[in-house]
Amino acid sequence: VSCGTVVIVGVGLIGGSIGKALRESGLARRVIGVGRDTARLELAQRLGAIDDAAQDDAAAYAASSVAVVCTPVSRVAQDVCRVARYVPDDALIMDVGSTKRVIVETVERDPRAAERFLGAHPIAGSDRSGVEHARADLFRGSTCVLTPTQCVQPTLVGRAADFWTALGCHVLEMSPEAHDQALAHTSHAPHLVASALSRLSPPQWHALAGGAFRDMTRVAGADTELWVAVFRQNRAAVLHALDALQTNLAELRHALTDDDPERLAALWEVGRAARSRFVASDQLRDPKPPPSC
């Protein structure tokens, strides 16, 4: 299956990894990168993430059958609408944003964009950003959520599913709202917790921090602009997830305050069982995880 010419708007970690995967698999006839920073685009080309760099104008999009908008979530909707003005009528436009409801709602106010757009979120990434960390296998074994609404033609959904499957993803379909609610709990609130934990230990205690601290603060190093935009676009669901976390923590706290070993053990076992279930499903999805280089 070839998906013709693919234009990637925003060639960072995710956009660059899509480009590399498309080029290595021969899935796209040509991969064009569009971005505001010419030097970064040249780097992307040198690193093999795109075939050509292009200006953000009509010419870049005219021959594209697929456009993937990989800009920060605060800019995705406007970028999708602009791209929609230039792509051929039968083009498929997708994004890769970590939030979906606000993006989909905004795009759907623009009829030409709404007809061609399908929200997508490949759940893969890193606390590192930039095309220099892009990898062709970034998506292998990961889940890609598609959030079709009634505006979206079923043939576009099929093309999108083929696209992400070819990149190694397991494709799931759900509503933008259901996506945002789940991600608030599995990703967005945990990012805020990582940040709060990171601030918890002054530098003089860093020598006393082991694997738990290292792993649990990793994503606190992620890009500020990108993540502030994610938290804001999914504000209600993230606040709800923080409340639920607070409830769980309060239960542990009360058992500790009461010095109640049975209650502490029972609560710990619930978390332990949930972790073990997660590990089992994680390994089922991706038996051989890519090296974390």
Among residue numbers 129 through 148, which ones bind a second copy (CB under 8 A)?
142-143, 145
Out of 179, 287, 288, 293, the only residue in the binding site for a second copy (CB under 8 A) is 179
Q: Does 197 bind a second copy (CB under 8 A)?
A: yes
Q: Which of 81, 99, 118, 97 is nearest to 14 (CA)?
A: 97
Q: Which residue among 279, 287, 288, 290 contacts a second copy (CB under 8 A)? A: 279
293 binds a second copy (CB under 8 A): no
Here the tokens at position 195 are 């940040």
210, 288, 291, 293: which one contacts a second copy (CB under 8 A)? 210
Q: Is the distance from CB of 80 to CB of 115 less than 8 angstroms?
A: no
Task: Out of 123, 131, 152, 161, point to the residue binding a second copy (CB under 8 A).
Answer: 123
Q: Which is nearer to a second copy, 26 or 210 (CB)?
A: 210
Closer of 34 and 241 to a second copy (Cβ): 241
- CB nearer to a second copy: give 86 or 213: 213
- Three-class SS state of 107: helix
* By the rule CB under 8 A, 58 interacts with a second copy: no
Supply 34's token pair.
Answer: 């569009």
- DSSP E strand boundaries for 125-169: 143-146
Report if residue 61 touches a second copy, rule: CB under 8 A: no
Among 259, 287, 291, 293, binds a second copy (CB under 8 A): 259
Classified as helix, coil or strand, 55 is coil
For residues 53 and 118, which CB has a smaller minimum distance to a second copy in the complex?
A: 118
Give the shortest CB-14-to-a second copy separation in angstroms.
12
What crossing angle do the helices spanning 224-233 and 235-257 adopt, rounded to 10°?
90
Select from 78-86, 87-95, 110-118, 257-265 the region that touches a second copy (CB under 8 A).
257-265
Which listed range, 13-21, 39-47, 110-118, 211-219, lies at the site for a second copy (CB under 8 A)?
211-219
Q: Does 68 bind a second copy (CB under 8 A)?
A: no
User: Which residues ranging from 237 to 256 are in contact with a second copy (CB under 8 A)?
Assistant: 238-239, 241-242, 244-246, 248-249, 252-253, 256
Where do the H-state alpha helices sit in the chain? Answer: 13-25, 38-46, 58-61, 73-86, 101-107, 111-116, 154-166, 176-183, 189-198, 211-216, 224-233, 235-257, 261-285
Give the residue among 33, 29, 31, 28 at the shortest CA–CA distance from 44. Answer: 33
- Residue 63: exposure state from Cβ atoms within 10 A (0-12, 13-18, ≥19): middle
Q: CB under 8 Å to 172, separation ≥6 — which residues?
A: 143, 144, 145, 146
Our finding on whether 271 is near a second copy (CB under 8 A) is: yes
Bridge partners of 122? 144
